[in-house]
Amino acid sequence: MKTENKAAQPPGDKIYSTYWWEIVLDHAHPRNYNPNVKQLTGYSKLQGHDEMKDKEMLLMKRILMLATNGYLDAAPNRVKYIAIYKRGGTLILKNQDDIICTLLPRDFEMRIADVGKHPKVVKFLKDLYDHLKTGKNIQNLLPKEQEKFSKDEYFDITRYNFPSQSHLYLWAERKIQDGHSFLQVQSFVAKYLERKPFMTNEPIKQLPK
């Protein structure tokens, strides 16, 4: 019988993901047979890929993924809790990133301030846990997505106003890391410098391929 090999999924982006999470394991559970593995870590972004523009939808999709994979099943569960962090600075740093919500096997916790900021996420979580408790299908819980964001908009010069040439190059390097074509990014930088030149003596930088 012929078998089809699926391409391996790229690893999570440990630097630029908007969200990341720690799955804290219950070592009393028989499935957690390795005492050296105390927690699992995941990331909202894959290396070489862009994240969704709608960060609330991104968060809900990642939570649904965790639930679909059994991490929020009712007790006895191999997971004690899942802490989901939101990157607070340019890079992921645990000591500066806030926990946006904590997922437990039967409920969730969220700071009052975040409840007010993210009513769609709160409603989704309440519906999700209600469905998990009653055994209902959870796959249709996500709210309707807004109009898709065209990737061409990433390279629309009129959408950007970089404060310095260094900021422009930092943006360009990030786009290459996210998997965009080097030639497309290089063309954007050249056009931007032509139409919006900086009053500076900074040298023209060579972008990494």
Q: Is residue 4 part of a domain?
A: no
- Domain count across the chain: 2
Q: Is residue 76 part of a domain?
A: yes
Are 28 and 130 part of one and the same domain? Answer: yes
For the stretch 21-56, pLDDT in tens is 999 998 888 877 788 888 999 999 888 787 888 899
The predicted structure's pLDDT at residue 172: 87
Are 23 and 124 part of one and the same domain? Answer: yes
The predicted structure's pLDDT at residue 152: 67
The predicted structure's pLDDT at residue 31: 79
Can you list the residues of the chain whose pLDDT is less than 70? 1-7, 75, 146-152, 179, 200-209
Are 121 and 161 part of one and the same domain? Answer: no
The predicted structure's pLDDT at residue 3: 43
Contact 66, 77 (CB under 8 A): no
CA-nearest of 80, 137, 77 to 103 is 80
Are 56 and 87 part of one and the same domain? Answer: yes
Are 33 and 97 part of one and the same domain? Answer: yes
136-149 burial code (b ≥16 CB/10 A, e <16): eebeebbeeeeeee
Are 108 and 162 part of one and the same domain? Answer: no
For the stretch 75-98, pLDDT in tens is 677 899 999 999 887 778 888 899
Are 106 and 172 part of one and the same domain? Answer: no
The predicted structure's pLDDT at residue 204: 60
The predicted structure's pLDDT at residue 171: 85
Q: Is residue 1 part of a domain?
A: no
The predicted structure's pLDDT at residue 2: 41
Q: Which residues pair with 85 in a beta bridge?
A: 20, 99
Domain span holding position 89: 19-134
Q: Is residue 209 part of a domain?
A: no
| Residue 207 CB neighbour total at 10 angstroms | 14
- Record the pTM: 0.73
If residue 113 lies in a helix (H) or strand (E), which one and from where to where?
helix 112-117
